[in-house]
Chain A
Amino acid sequence: MTRVLGRLGGSGTGRIAALPPGLLRAPTAGVAVAVAAYLGVLFGVADVVGSAGALAAAVGLAVLAATASARLVSPRTAVLAAVALLAAGLLGYYLSVPPDVREVFTPTNVVVDALRLLTGISVLRLVRVDAWVLATTPIPTFLAWYLAGRGRHVQAALVAGGTLGFLVLTGDAGVGATLLGVLGVTLAVGLSTLSVPSGIRTQWDTFAALLAVMVVLPATISAFAFGGVVPTSAGSAPGLESSVTGTSESLDVVGRVGLSPAPRFRVESPVKANWQVASYDRYTGSGWVRTGEPDLLGGSVDAPPGETTTVRQNVTALSRLELYPTVWKPVSVAGPTAETAELADGGTINPRVPINTGETVRIESAVLRTSPARLRAAGTDYPDAIRERYTQLPESTPDRVANLTRRVTADAGTPYDAAVAIERYLPRVKNYSLSVSRPDGDIADSFLFEMRAGYCTYFATAMVAMLRSQGVPARLATGYTAGTEVSDGEWLVRAQDAHAWVQVYFPGQGWVNFDPTPAAARETARDRRLQAAEESGAGVAGVAVVTEVVTPGEDTPTPTRTAAGNGSSDEDLSAEVARVIEQGIPGESQSSGDATGTVINTASGATTPTETPIDPAAEGDDGDGSGPLPDRRTTGYAVLLLIGGAAVAHGTGATRRASRTVWLHVQLREGPARDVERAFGRLQALLAGRYRERRPRETPRAYLAAVGADDARMARVLEIYERSRYGDETTREEADEAVRAVDGIVADATPILGRPLRRIAGVARWVRSHVG
C-alpha cells in the first residue's frame, strides 16, 4: 500500500499538483488523526462562539499552504514563518479584545494569563475566543502538516500532540478527544519506527495490541474511577449544589443529582429573595462558561441603571463559604475577607479568600424596582456589548429551538412578554426530576424535544437558549433560593436550596430574574429530602437545630421576580421593596406555585408534583425515556473493549493457545482413518506438553517408550494408529475406541478446564449424528 502510494508520489515529481512524498507514507495517517483530535476540540469551541465556518476556511488554507510549501520551503523557514504567524495572530487577538480589557495587557500579564490557562481554565473563558481560535488554530495545523510532508512524522505528531496537550491542560479536551490524540500520536510514532522493510508486516500484531491497551485501559479506568467516559455505570450522583453553584468558572450540566440538607449560611435580610452567587454568559451546548477575569472590587460598584432600593444583608457562614450570596445586585461588601472581594464580569461579587464558619459579612445590594409596564416599555435598544455577549448561541443549536420559541412567543410583543411566555410554557410541558440522564447533545435542545423532565439547570438553560434564539439578551444565574425563614427576616439556607434561574436584560433597567423551574415540585423534592434526613436521624448538626421551624406547607412560592413591581400600577412603586418581593407578583405574574402545580397535572396526565420521582436514589425513571438503551458512550466503549481484547488476544498468542486447547479437547468425527490420525495427534500434543516433542526421525512407538508413556490406553491407541497407518483399513469400532481412549486420557490430564469443552463436544456430536 505504502509502496504503491509512494510510487504514485514519485511518478508525480515535477508536477505542481504532486503531493509531497512524506504525505504519502503510512505515519501520515497517525498525524492526521492527532490533528483531527485537537481540531475537533477547537471546532467545538468555534461552534459555541459562532466562528466554525471561518475556522474551517482558515484550517483549509493552512493545510493547502503546508502541502504546497513542503517541497519548497526549508524546515527552518517554515518554523520561523509559523512562529511569526502565531505572534501576528496573537497580536490580532489582543487588538480584537475590547479596549478596557486590553489596557491590562502588559507582557507580564500576557505570560501569566497564558500560564494560568494551563491550570485548567477553559479557553472558552477568553472574552474574544472567536478571534483567538481563528488566530491560533491554523499555525500548528500548518506546521504538523508541513512536517508530515517533509517526512518528519514524529515531529509532526509532537506538534499535534503538544497542541492537544495544551487543550487538555485548559480542560477543553475531554477523555475521548485526548485518547483519540494519543492514538494518533502513537500511530504516527509507531508507523515511522516500523518503516523498515517488513517492519509493519512482522510487528503489526504487537503494535495493535499495544494500541488497544493504551486506549482501553485509560477508558476503563476513567469510566470507573472518574466516571468520565461511562456515566451510566458511574457511582453516586453529585450534589445539586456542587453541580449548580460550584466555585468554578464553568458549569457543566450533569445528569442525576442528589440533595444534601447540610446548612450553608444564614441571611438576615429585609427581603426574601434568591441569593445569587454567580452568572454565566457563554453557553457551550453542554454547559456554561463565565468569560473574562474578575477584578478586585475596591469600593462599591454601580447600581443597575433603573430605579433601585438599597437592601442590607448580613450573611453568616455556617460552613466554609467561598461565595457571597446576595440579592441582585450587590454593590458593596464589608466584614472579614471584604478587602479581597472580587467583582466578576457579570456583576456578582465573590471573595478570593473563603469566609470561615461563623463569620458574618455585610453586603449592600441595589435592588431594582420596576414593573411589567416599565419592562414592556424598555424596548430593544441593547448596548452592543450586552447584545454581543448575551445573545450568543452555539452555531450547532438546532433550528427547532428557535422555531419552537417563535410559536411559544407568538403573541408576545415585547421581550418581557416573551420571557413571561417562556417562563410559563416550560413548567407546563416539563416535569421536575432530579434523577435524569445527561443528554448527549445540546442540553437546551435535548431538554425541549427529547426529555420529559429535568431540574433547575435544565429549565433555566432551555429558557436562556430560547430567549437568545429570539435575540433577547439573557444569562444563567446561579445561587440559592431563599431557604427557610427561621425567624422574622432571617433565612437558613441549605445545600439543597441551590438553584439556577434566568436573568434577562432590559435597557435602562438592568438584569431581571425569571424562574422557569416549577417551584412547587422543586420544594417538594427538597422537603422530602429534609424529612428523610430527620427521620433517619442523620446527625447533621444543622438539621436538629431547625426541625421545629420547618413548615414547608406555609412557604410562599419562590419569588420569581425579585424586583418586579406590583404589576397593577406603576404608581405603587413606593411600596416597600421587601413587601413587593415577599408577595411575589400578583395578577398575571403571580404564578409559580399554584399555576405550575396545576399545569403539571394536566400536562403529564397522572403525574402530580408530589408523585414526580424526586428521590435521587430512585432508579429507573430517568425522565428522558432512553433508560433501557445503552447510550452512545457505553456502546462506543463496549466496541472499543471488544476490538482491544481481540487485538491483545492475538498479539499475545492467546487466540492460538485457545484454539489449541479446543482442538485438544474436542474431536468431531470425520471418518475412521482421519479420526484415528487425529486422536493420535491429540495424544501426541498432550505428551508434548507434558514431556517433549516427538523428534523428526523418531517413530511413534519409540517416542512413547522414550517418554515413558506406557499406560495401557496409550498402548492401545498406538496399536490402532499403527495399524491404520501402515496396515489394513481401520474399522469404525476401532476408530471409536481410539477417540474414546484419547478423550479419557485428556480428561484425566485436565480434570477441571476440559469438562465444559467436552460437554460442548458431546452436544456437537449428538447434533451432528441427528442432523447428518
Chain B
Amino acid sequence: MREYTLTNRGRAVVAICGAAALMAWLFGARALGAVVLPGIVALAGAALQLRRIDPPEIRRDLPPDDAVGATHEVGLRFVDPATGASPASPFVADVVEATGSGLSDPPTVRVVVGEATTTYPVSYERRGSPTVGPARIRATDVLGLLVRRMEAGPADRVLVYPGRHPIAARFRRRLYREGGLGTSRQRDEFDRLREYDRGDPLRDVSWSATAKRDELIVTEFAAEAERAPVSIAGGAEDGGADDLATATASVALALLDDGVPVSVDLPNGSVEVGPTPEGRRRLLELLALATGGEPPETDADAVIEADLDGTRVRVGDAELSFEEVRMGGEATGEPGGVGRIPAGETA
C-alpha cells in the first residue's frame, strides 16, 4: 500500500478544485479562484505537514501475563527514536496495533502522536505468546485530507495462560495418595504469619488473623517445602496442545491450591514448583507455550494425554476422561491468573 494516500475528504477537495477550475475555464472566472487556490494550498499544506513527520517509536505499558478470557489495557507512548524524548512535531493520527493470533483485534484510536499517551483494550483469546505491535500509524494533516502510513516498532510479547477448570476434590485427594504423601499434610509445624501473596492457597488463610487486620493473612508451615511433589506428565497429538495445557493447568493449579507441590513434564519442558506465586508463574509460563508431542514421562502420578477425541487423565491403572475429573462448567480464565483467589472449591 502506498505511503501517501488521499482520504475521501482529500479526494473531495481535488474533485471540487477540478470542477471549479473547469467551470472557470468554460464559463468565466467569477470568484472560483477563491475556491481553487485555497484548495490547492490545503492539499500542498497537507503534503508538507506529513513530509515533516519523523516516524516515531513506541513505548508500551504492557499488560500483565494472564489467562485466556482476561481483558487488559495496553498503554502507548510515542518517542523520537533519536532522542528518546517526545517527538518534536506532534501530529494527529489513527493508530492501530498489529497483534499476533491469540489477542483480540485492537480498536483504532485517534490520538495526537507525540503528545498524549493513549490506551486501548485487548482481550486474551488463545493460549500462547502473541506479539503486540508494531503499531500501524496513519498520520493525517490538520484538515484530514491526506494520510501517510508508517509503522512504529518495536513489537512486544505477552503470555496468555491456558484456562482452567475446577477439579473435583475426590480426584485431588486420590492424587495425593498416588503421590504417597496424601494421607496427611504436616500442617502442624507452624512457621510464621505473613501477608497474603498472589497464588497462596486459600486454605492457608488465617481467618482469625485476617479479621484483626485490613489485609489477608496466611499461615506458613515449616514442613511444606520439604514435601515431595506430585508428578504430572502430559502429551498431545496435533491440535490437542490447547486441551492438554488447559487440563494440566487445572490439575496442577488445583494441587498447588491445596498446598501440594507439583512437578510437570511436558513435551516443551518441565518444571517442579511449590505452592508459591513464583511457582505458579513458572508453571503457567510452561503451559502457555506447551506444544504437542509424546508425554516425556509415562510413570508419573498423573499422565494427561489430549487428542482430537478428547483429553484423558491416567492415574495409576485408572484412565479417566477429563470431563469426569473436572467439576463441570466451562473453562474459566479467572483461576488461571497467578494473582487471583481461586474460585473453585478449596477444601
Q: Is the CB of A210 within 8 A of B42?
A: yes
Q: Within 8 Å CB of A519, what residues of B? A: none
Say yes or no: is A174 at the interface (Cβ < 8 Å to chain B). yes
Cα distance A218–B39 in the bound complex, in angstroms? 10
The bracket for how many chain A residues form the interface is 35 or more
Q: Within 8 Å CB of B26, what residues of A? A: 119
Say yes or no: is B9 at the interface (Cβ < 8 Å to chain A). yes
Q: Is the CB of B90 within 8 A of A203?
A: yes
Q: Within 8 Å CB of B114, what residues of A? A: 202
A120-B27, A222-B33 are known contacts. Are A202 and B115 too (CB-CB below 8 A)?
yes
Q: Is the CB of B142 within 8 A of A120?
A: no
Q: Within 8 Å CB of A186, what residues of B? A: 38, 42, 143
Which 7 residue pairs are nearest across A and B when measured between Cβ atoms? A178-B34, A218-B37, A214-B38, A178-B31, A119-B27, A193-B144, A202-B90
Cα distance A173–B35 in the bound complex, in angstroms? 11
Q: Is the CB of B28 within 8 A of A120?
A: yes
Q: Is the CB of A189 within 8 A of B9?
A: yes
Kindly supply a per-residue 1/0 record for chain A positions 190-216, scoring 1 wherever the CB is within 8 Å of any chain B CB and 0 otherwise.
Answer: 100110111101110011001001110
User: Could you say which of B23, B32, B45, B92 contacts A193, with CB atoms under 8 Å apart?
Assistant: B92
Q: Is the CB of A210 within 8 A of B112?
A: no
Q: Which residue of A lies closest to B94 (CB)?
A: A196
Q: Within 8 Å CB of B41, what residues of A? A: 210, 213-214, 217
A199-B112, A203-B90 are known contacts. Are A182 and B34 too (CB-CB below 8 A)?
yes
Cα distance A420–B49 in the bound complex, in angstroms? 67
B15 to chain A, nearest CB (A): 12
Q: Is the CB of B33 within 8 A of A118?
A: no
B138 to chain A, nearest CB (A): 13
- 7 example contacts (A-B, Cβ-Cβ < 8 A) are as follows A154-B9, A168-B34, A194-B92, A201-B115, A203-B92, A218-B34, A221-B37
Other contacts beyond A165-B35, A178-B31: 7, CB < 8 A: A118-B23, A169-B32, A182-B35, A196-B112, A202-B90, A214-B45, A217-B41
Instruction: Tell me which residues from 92 to 119 in chain A have a Cβ below 8 Å from any Cβ of chain B.
Output: 118-119
Q: Is the CB of B92 within 8 A of A210?
A: no
A168-B32, A190-B142, A199-B92 are known contacts. Are A179 and B115 too (CB-CB below 8 A)?
no
A44 to chain B, nearest CB (A): 14
Cα distance A546–B146 in the bound complex, in angstroms? 64
Cα distance A221–B91 in the bound complex, in angstroms? 30
Kindly supply a per-residue 1/0 record for chain B positions 23-61, scoring 1 wherever the CB is within 8 Å of any chain A CB and 0 otherwise.
Answer: 100111111111101100110010001000000000000
Q: Is the CB of B28 within 8 A of A168?
A: no
Say yes or no: is B140 at the interface (Cβ < 8 Å to chain A). yes
A207 to chain B, nearest CB (A): 5
Kindly supply a per-residue 1/0 record for chain B positions 198-217, scoring 1 wherever the CB is within 8 Å of any chain A CB and 0 otherwise.
Answer: 00000000000000000000
Say yes or no: is A171 at the interface (Cβ < 8 Å to chain B). yes
Q: Which residue of A lies closest to B23 (CB)?
A: A169
Say yes or no: is B110 at the interface (Cβ < 8 Å to chain A). yes
Q: Within 8 Å CB of B115, what residues of A? A: 198, 201-202
Q: Is the CB of A214 within 8 A of B42?
A: yes
Say yes or no: is A355 at the interface (Cβ < 8 Å to chain B). no
Q: Which residue of A lies closest to B114 (CB)?
A: A202
Cα distance A190–B143 in the bound complex, in angstroms? 5
Cα distance A198–B92 in the bound complex, in angstroms? 10
Kindly supply a per-residue 1/0 record for chain B positions 103-128, scoring 1 wherever the CB is within 8 Å of any chain A CB and 0 otherwise.
Answer: 00000001110111000000000000
Q: Within 8 Å CB of B9, what residues of A? A: 154, 189
Q: Is the CB of A174 within 8 A of B37?
A: no
Cα distance A194–B110 in the bound complex, in angstroms? 10
Q: Is the CB of A198 within 8 A of B38?
A: no
Say yes or no: is A691 at the interface (Cβ < 8 Å to chain B). no
User: Could you say which of B31, B49, B111, B140 contacts A175, with CB atoms under 8 Å apart?
Assistant: B31
Say yes or no: is A177 at the interface (Cβ < 8 Å to chain B). yes
Instruction: Tell me which residues from 244 to 297 in chain B have a Cβ below 8 Å from any Cβ of chain A.
Output: none
A177-B31, A182-B38 are known contacts. Are A210 and B45 too (CB-CB below 8 A)?
yes
Tell me the total A-B contact number using a CB cutoff of 8 A.
111
Q: Within 8 Å CB of B49, what residues of A? A: 206
Cα distance A196–B140 in the bound complex, in angstroms? 13
Q: Within 8 Å CB of A213, what residues of B? A: 41, 45
Most chain A beta-carbon contacts within 10 A, residue among B32, B34, B37, B110: B34
Q: Which residue of B lies closest to A170 (CB)?
A: B30
Q: Within 8 Å CB of B92, what residues of A? A: 193-194, 196, 199, 203
Q: Is the CB of B37 within 8 A of A196?
A: no
Q: Which residue of B lies closest to A206 (CB)?
A: B142
Instruction: Tell me which residues from 687 to 738 in chain A have a Cβ below 8 Å from any Cβ of chain B.
Output: none
Q: Is the CB of B143 within 8 A of A210?
A: yes
Q: Which residue of A lies closest to B113 (CB)?
A: A202
Q: Is the CB of A168 within 8 A of B38?
A: no
Q: Is the CB of B143 within 8 A of A189?
A: yes
Cα distance A137–B35 in the bound complex, in angstroms? 21
A118-B23, A196-B110 are known contacts. Are A203 and B142 too (CB-CB below 8 A)?
yes
Q: Is the CB of A173 within 8 A of B31?
A: yes
B297 to chain A, nearest CB (A): 56
User: Which chain A residues have a beta carbon within 8 Å of chain B's beta carbons?
Assistant: 118-120, 154, 165, 168-169, 171, 173-175, 177-179, 182, 186, 189-190, 193-194, 196-199, 201-203, 206-207, 210, 213-215, 217-219, 221-222, 225-226, 228
A610 to chain B, nearest CB (A): 39
Cα distance A217–B42 in the bound complex, in angstroms? 11
User: Could you say which of B31, B45, B90 contacts A168, with CB atoms under 8 Å apart?
Assistant: B31
Cα distance A199–B109 in the bound complex, in angstroms? 13
Cα distance A217–B37 in the bound complex, in angstroms? 7
Cα distance A537–B31 in the bound complex, in angstroms? 39
Q: Within 8 Å CB of A202, what residues of B? A: 90, 112, 114-115
Cα distance A190–B35 in the bound complex, in angstroms? 17
User: Could you say which of A168, A189, A203, A206 contacts B30, with CB atoms under 8 Å apart?
Assistant: A168
Q: Within 8 Å CB of A215, what residues of B? A: 38
Cα distance A361–B176 in the bound complex, in angstroms? 123
Q: Within 8 Å CB of B29, what residues of A? A: 226
Q: Which residue of A lies closest to B13 (CB)?
A: A189
Q: Is the CB of B33 within 8 A of A226?
A: yes
Instruction: Tell me which residues from 7 to 25 in chain B have a Cβ below 8 Å from any Cβ of chain A.
Output: 9, 16, 20, 23
Q: Is the CB of A221 within 8 A of B143?
A: no
A186-B42, A203-B142 are known contacts. Are A174 and B31 too (CB-CB below 8 A)?
yes
Q: Which residue of A lies closest to B109 (CB)?
A: A196
A41 to chain B, nearest CB (A): 10
Q: Is the CB of B35 within 8 A of A168?
A: yes
Q: Within 8 Å CB of A197, what residues of B? A: 111-112, 116
Q: Is the CB of B45 within 8 A of A178?
A: no
Q: Which residue of A lies closest to B27 (CB)?
A: A119
B46 to chain A, nearest CB (A): 9
Cα distance A465–B180 in the bound complex, in angstroms? 118
A169-B23, A221-B37 are known contacts. Are A120 and B45 too (CB-CB below 8 A)?
no
Cα distance A189–B90 in the bound complex, in angstroms? 19
Q: Which residue of B lies closest to A214 (CB)?
A: B38
Q: Within 8 Å CB of B35, what residues of A? A: 165, 168, 178, 182
Q: Is the CB of A198 within 8 A of B116?
A: yes
Most chain A beta-carbon contacts within 10 A, residue among B26, B111, B142: B142
Q: Which residue of A lies closest to B16 (CB)?
A: A165
Instruction: Tell me which residues from 131 to 150 in chain B have a Cβ below 8 Å from any Cβ of chain A.
Output: 140-144
A189-B9, A202-B90 are known contacts. Are A221 and B112 too (CB-CB below 8 A)?
no
Q: Within 8 Å CB of B20, what residues of A? A: 165, 168
Cα distance A193–B140 in the bound complex, in angstroms? 9
Q: Is the CB of B34 within 8 A of A194?
A: no
Q: Is the CB of B112 within 8 A of A198?
A: yes
Q: Which residue of B lies closest to A199 (CB)?
A: B112
Q: Which residue of A lies closest to B26 (CB)?
A: A119
Q: Within 8 Å CB of A219, what residues of B? A: 34
Cα distance A189–B42 in the bound complex, in angstroms? 11
Q: Within 8 Å CB of B27, what residues of A? A: 118-120
Cα distance A225–B143 in the bound complex, in angstroms? 28
Q: Within 8 Å CB of A173, what residues of B? A: 30-31
Q: Which residue of A lies closest to B46 (CB)?
A: A210
Q: Is the CB of A207 within 8 A of B33?
A: no
Most chain B beta-carbon contacts within 10 A, residue among A171, A175, A206: A206
Q: Within 8 Å CB of B32, what residues of A? A: 168-169
